[in-house]
Amino acid sequence: MKRFAAFVTKEFYHILRDKRTLVILIGMPTVMIMLFGFAITNELKEARVAFLDHSNDPQTLAIQEKILASPYFSLSGQISTPAEIEDIFRDGQTKLVVIFENDFGQRLEKDGRANIQLIADATDPNTASTVVNYAQAIILDYARDLPPQQSPPLISVLSQMRYNPELNGVYYFVPGLIAILLMLVSAMMTSISIAREKETGTMEVLLASPMKPAQIILAKVVPYVLLSFLDAMLILTLGKFVFGVPILGSLALLLGVTLLFILLALSLGILISTVSPNQQTALLLSLMGLMLPTILLSGFIFPIENMPWPLQVISNVIPARWFIIVVKSIMLKGSGFFLLWKEILIMFGFILFFIAVSVRKFKIRLE
């Protein structure tokens, strides 16, 4: 036991001595949550809109004003011919061109109807459809206020946004961020650190010592467990106090699950290191086989329901997917263990599987 403690201390020194890595270990969660909290959003803000208006009557000016008064749009410019549309779209700044037909106001008053054409730059289809939706809503809203006043709407819709009344994007990202960072620190760092000992030959020295292989591996991962846990706490704290992301469920359960996921990530890291002969392979494997799928297929950024079914099937074997579900439910819905035991069980299953495979691979190598 004493030997083991000495060994853990050695690993700690390795990590703590490397100031740059340490700064990043602490800085990364902070920077990421700040970015997601403040900068990364799909919410439309001040999309640039251009007008092609030959009527220039009170009605078209009112509509222009109403569009620009909304927080979603800002003025890109006025154009005078349809040929200019392409030019104004070309640099990618302008998202929407609103074209009023000639004699808009006259037609509206005489015929009771007038046409507006919306042309969106659909290079980014998301933005394009949102921009069109919002512009349409604003125009229809204007039309509703036109005389004669319409009766109140037939059906009023009362919407309730449960779990996240202000539709705050950070709520959605915090659990995923924890998963990504734990994967990075626990799985990627350990796999490379073990592969390094293999590559430089120090692993054989350690294996020749009276310590058992399991002890060696364990000693290597203990510091990373602590660091990962620290990172997870950092994100939870920042999320709560800077962005007001609530923790409705049991904190103990949340921390327990976090620890479970750290173990899961570590077992995955060990598995990667047993199959990689050197650090480069370990790195590329973790990067391509671990980090990218975790970011993209776990439901962290992109909703799993949107994916084609083969990817939905694949997402089942992405461990982070289950962790993210559990964390979201505990934090934002206050769910308890009884609603989540299935997901937790799956995470346990992953750990056992990864450890079993690693031990098998390890034995083969020693024989």
Residues 204-243, interacting with other proteins (CB under 8 A): none
Residues 323-362 that bind other proteins (CB under 8 A): 325, 328-329, 332-333, 335, 339
Q: Shortest approach of other proteins to residue 144 CB, angstroms?
A: 9
Among 164, 211, 255, 362, binds other proteins (CB under 8 A): 164
- Give the residue with the Cβ less far from other proteins, 83 or 157: 157
Stretch that binds other proteins, among 17-25, 207-215, 219-227, 235-243 (CB under 8 A): 17-25
Give the burial string for 272-299 (b: 16+ CB within 10 Å, else e): bbbebeebebbbebbeeebeebbbebbb
The site for other proteins, by CB under 8 A, has a size of 122
Binding of other proteins by 13 (CB under 8 A): no
Among residues 208, 195, 254, 192, the alpha carbon closest in space to that of 229 is found at: 254
Backbone torsion region of residue 77, taken as left when φ is above 0, otherwise alpha when ψ lies between -120 and 50, otherwise beta: left
Minimum CB separation of residue 112 from other proteins in Å reads 5
Q: Of these, 1, 83, 155, 366, which contacts other proteins (CB under 8 A)?
A: 155
- Residue 158 found at the interface with other proteins (CB under 8 A): yes
Task: Please state, in angstroms and rounded to a whole number, the distance separating the CA atoms of residues 361 and 204.
Answer: 16
CB atoms within 10 A of CB 324: 26
**Residue 250 in contact with residue 39, Cβ under 8 Å?**
no
Residues 168-197 that bind other proteins (CB under 8 A): 168-169, 171-172, 184, 188-189, 192-193, 196
Residue 296 binds other proteins (CB under 8 A): yes
Smallest distance from other proteins to CB 224, Å? 12
Binding mask 27-66 for other proteins (x = CB under 8 A): xx--xx--xx-xxxxxxxxxxx--------------x---
Long-range residue pairs from 320-323, CB within 8 A, at least 24 positions apart, any chain? 320/176, 320/179, 320/180, 320/183, 320/261, 320/294, 321/297, 322/346, 322/347, 323/175, 323/178, 323/179, 323/257, 323/261, 323/264, 323/347
Q: Is 146 in the site for other proteins (CB under 8 A)?
A: yes
15 or 233: CB nearest other proteins: 15
- Cα–Cα distance for residue pair 18/349, rounded to 1 Å: 35
Q: Write phi, then psi, for 97 (nearest 5 degrees).
A: -120, 130
Question: 6 or 40, CB closer to other proteins?
Answer: 40
Question: What's the min distance (Å) between Cβ of 255 and other proteins?
Answer: 20
Fill in the DSSP letter of residue 148.
S
Residue 1 beta carbon to other proteins: minimum distance, rounded to whole angstroms? 28
- Residue 154's SS3 state is coil
244 binds other proteins (CB under 8 A): no
Q: Which is nearer to other proteins, 27 or 349 (CB)?
A: 27
- Interacting residues with other proteins between 262 and 291 (CB under 8 A): 276-281, 283-285, 287-288, 291
Residue 124 and residue 1: Cα distance in Å, rounded? 59
What is the residue-wise DSSP string for 89-112? HHTS-EEEEEEEPTTHHHHHHHHS
- DSSP string computed for 307-357: S-HHHHHHHTT-HHHHHHHHHHIIIII---HHHHHHHHHHHHHHHHHHHHH
Residue 364 DSSP SS3: helix
Using CB under 8 A, pick the residue from 26, 61, 88, 122 that binds other proteins: 122
- Evaluate the omega torsion of the peptide bond into residue 148 and state whether it is cis, within 30 degrees of 0: yes
Smallest distance, other proteins to C-beta of residue 359, A: 22
Site for other proteins in 90-119 (CB under 8 A): 90-92, 95, 108-109, 112-119
Tell me the window of 142-150, 228-236, 252-260, 349-357 that interacts with other proteins (CB under 8 A): 142-150
At its nearest, how many Å lie between other proteins and the CB of residue 352? 25
